[in-house]
Chains A and B, each alone.
Chain A
Amino acid sequence: MATTLRAVLNAFEQADRPLSIAQLAADLDITPVMLEGMINYWVRKGRLRESGGTAECGTCSQGDHCPLVIKMPRRFEVVSEGAPPVEPPPCSACTCH
């Protein structure tokens, strides 16, 4: 029984190029808003990883306001088995503590 949720995960695993949420939603014939919810489901299940959206900068509380970081939108990618959790970079050089 092929579910739409499984189709979303398969699309991630079989992709050979970067995709936008809008493109993937069109490929799966669902709305981007619905796709975001489904991606969120797999993120919670630990099968996808979310990154970006804000500056991941150690213990620095500046986040998006850090003058040294270019802000990027959220990205999602497949979590490979046994992959260690992503550690944020150190922030020792930052003057915005």
Chain B
Amino acid sequence: MTVLMTTQKIRIALAGNPNAGKSTVFNALTGAHQHTGNWPGKTVALQTGSLSLNGHHIELIDLPGTYSLSAFSAEEIVTRDFILDECPDVIVAVADASNLERNLYLVLQLLEMGSPVILALNMWDIAESRGITVDQQRLSALLGGVPVIRMIGNRQVGLSDLKRAVEDVLHGGTGAVRSLGLPLDDMLAKEHAALVELVQNEPALYAMFDAPWMALKLLELDEDILSRVEPYPHITAAVEAACERISQQTGEDPDTLIADRRYQIIGEIAEQVITRGKQDAGTRSDRIDAVLAHPVWGVPIFLLLMWFVFQLTANASAPLVDWIDAVIGGPIVNWTHAAFKALGLEGTWLASAVIDGAIAGVGGVLVFIPVLLSLFMAISILEDSGYMARAAFVMDRFMQKLGLHGKSFLPLLVGFGCTVPAVYATRTLEHEDDRKITAFLTTFMSCGARLPIYVIFGTAFFGSASGTLVFAMYLAGIAVAVLTSLLLTRVVYRNKPVPPFVMELPPYRMPNRHTIAVEMWTQTRDFLRRAATLILVASLVIWLLLALPVRGKGEFANVTPEDSLFGSVSAAMAPVLAPAGFGTWQAAGALITGLSAKEVVISTMSQLYLDTSEDEAATSTSFADDVKGIVSGLGEALVLTGQEFVNIVPRTVNLLPGVNVPELNILGADADEAEEDTSQLNSALRSAFTPLAAVAFNVFVLLYVPCVAAVSAMRHEYGTRWMLTQAAYTLAVAWLAAVIVYQVGRLLGA
């Protein structure tokens, strides 16, 4: 007698792993005829729908996605209980054809339950695109004759075959009643047989479930099934004794042995039915990984890629940084001056607060938009292509030597661009200690805003060897980070050894342009929203301190810097810096303003060392000239950006000894102009610092407290206490290092 003859209400359940496309098949079968609701007594919502098959009304139930039926999670319990208690007439097991081995575990468990199963091999197109083929007939035969259907659920391919198979099963055809017992090894088989016999001797139990399946679940110590045999203490005792004997003899839990047996069977089936072609993405990625994730070659390749990232963020973005700087410092300041003049507020404290405080401060952040965009673009490309996972993988060993986690390297890497996102990037670490230590170290990775300071001092004191100073600063930062890490992990936290990990390396793929554009925008926007607010407040505070007279004849907003509150505080702090060779109030003041943002150090020095008494308004141009200048400046900056981008190649090749490929120089004259722009400040610096004091000053800039935005990020993430600890530590280390450089240098006669 067939199901169609005996059942009024026909029920079909869809089961499968998460992401196997089960819901797609469900939608394709039911169309709009579906609703969601809780099954009686269950909290997990089940999607149900209806379809008509040759005049028969069929209810379709979309069971929660599960990897097994072992009652570990709510989804598994709901799925298993539904199958056991509601006894659906057919179970359609939806499996991802491109990940068949993993999906077969659930299929085997469904067959062990004695359910009438149809296997739908979904995502057949994805499997084919990866060069994976599955022998349907052979698979069906190995699974005891279960109908196997190829499907592409989202394109409704295979739906009619599935419906035909359902109909066939309902009519008592090939797949009607299947119970594929799990073939067990000797000892397990013996204990299983004994338990089957005990269950079969209890009619109430035997009527409830398939005896071999129930005995298997008892050996797996399935809590649900154990609770159902509680009224039969002799069975419970037999189960305990059997499990004890198995564990003693094999050293393994029975459930592990049973799971392993399932995997053995899956392996045997897979070997016979799955063929993998050469275009399997996994295989292709494995070949690339043989080079990129190689224990030896992986590190230099990673360093080379990082070189590209730094070239991109530091050099390729520089022309646009200069352009924004010129626009803010020129036309925008001029227009603001003109606006205040028109309002009759020229020369007032309000005009000063807006121009010298707000515009100068916020402008200092806006200038770095190209740097951030290029940094985020580089990171997004590396991330989206799948390389970032390899980088963490490759760098793990080095990080472990420092007592850090392999994932720590990513925030540290980001720190070379900006400390703020670097601190937030520590969220990817699981353990709080790792997060705190890594965030602590990010400040020693010299951020992009410090670079202009090294460059200006380098050109002022070391001419063509200025690059050496810059390179030395980066290396010094890394060295201090290494020492600090050893201190924190070996002395303060005494971290337990970091266990090695196994990582899923996603297949390589071409980065998606849309994804990269969205990431660049969202990350830059978020940074600006946060940093611009903080910088604005900090800039206005500094302006206020510079506007407040504390001595001399000045008045509010019209006072010489040295007579301002700022000048007085700076002068008070200057003696502390004297042992490092730069104990002037100007140097101290520049370092104080550098707390708001490191790029402010240079602008403060320009204000303090250079004569800026000339009337800015007198040099202003017409609005049309300003707009023309902005547009032509942008064009020039874009050309130079392209030039710098191209020049990454010769600069990289020129790292090889004996190689000297000339760099592209489309607008060479502008480089000279740029040098002229800084020459005044260079002369002033040369008269204010000795070369040794200049190096000590740069060391201090490298190591001392990061900017307000970074400190604020630190407080947000790890609290005020950790933030203050970091600030105090960096100040102490910076002072000590600068003093050592200066005093040792003097002893050596430098």
Contact = CB atoms under 8 A, between A and B. Distances in A.
A73 B506 contact: yes
A31 B282 CA distance: 11
A55 B504 contact: no
A24 B475 CA distance: 36
Interface of A: 1, 3-6, 12, 15-22, 24, 30-34, 36-41, 44-45, 51-52, 55-57, 67-78, 80, 86-87, 89-90, 92-93, 95-96
B451 to A, nearest CB: 23
Contacts of A92: 716
Interface string B83-101: 0000000000000000111
B713 A87 contact: no
A18 B67 contact: no
B343 interface: no
Residue from B285, B289, B389, B396 having most chain A Cβ neighbours under 10 A: B389
A20 B505 contact: yes
Given A30-B267, A33-B99, A95 B500 contact: no
Contacts of B407: 52, 72
B746 interface: no
Interface size bracket, B side: 35 or more
B299 to A, nearest CB: 13
B105 A39 contact: no
B67 A70 contact: no
Contact of A34 (B263, B500, B525): B263
A32 to B, nearest CB: 6
Contact of B717 (A52, A70, A75, A93): A93
Contact of A73 (B105, B425, B505): B505
28 contacts: A3-B260, A4-B264, A6-B256, A12-B500, A18-B397, A19-B502, A20-B293, A20-B504, A21-B502, A21-B504, A34-B266, A34-B267, A40-B67, A44-B72, A51-B430, A68-B421, A68-B425, A70-B379, A70-B410, A72-B389, A74-B503, A74-B504, A75-B501, A75-B504, A86-B431, A89-B717, A92-B716, A96-B526
Nearest to A16: B500
B427 interface: yes
A55 B102 CA distance: 25
B101 A33 contact: yes
Contact of B502 (A24, A37, A89): A24
A30 B717 CA distance: 42
B717 A31 contact: no
A77 B101 contact: no
B289 A20 contact: yes
B424 A37 contact: no
Interface string B458-480: 00000000000000000000000
Nearest to A91: B427
Given A36-B102, A41-B259, A55-B428, A73 B522 contact: no
Contacts of A87: 432
Nearest to A76: B502
A70 B289 contact: no
Contacts of B430: 51, 56, 86
Given A20-B393, A69-B427, A73-B503, A93 B379 contact: no
Nearest to A49: B430
Nearest to A36: B102
B270 interface: yes
Contacts of A4: 260, 263-264, 267
A75 B396 CA distance: 13
B254 to A, nearest CB: 11
B670 to A, nearest CB: 35
A1 to B, nearest CB: 5
B519 interface: yes
Contact of A68 (B185, B496, B526): B526
B424 A69 contact: yes
A71 B282 CA distance: 20
Nearest to B716: A93
B135 interface: no
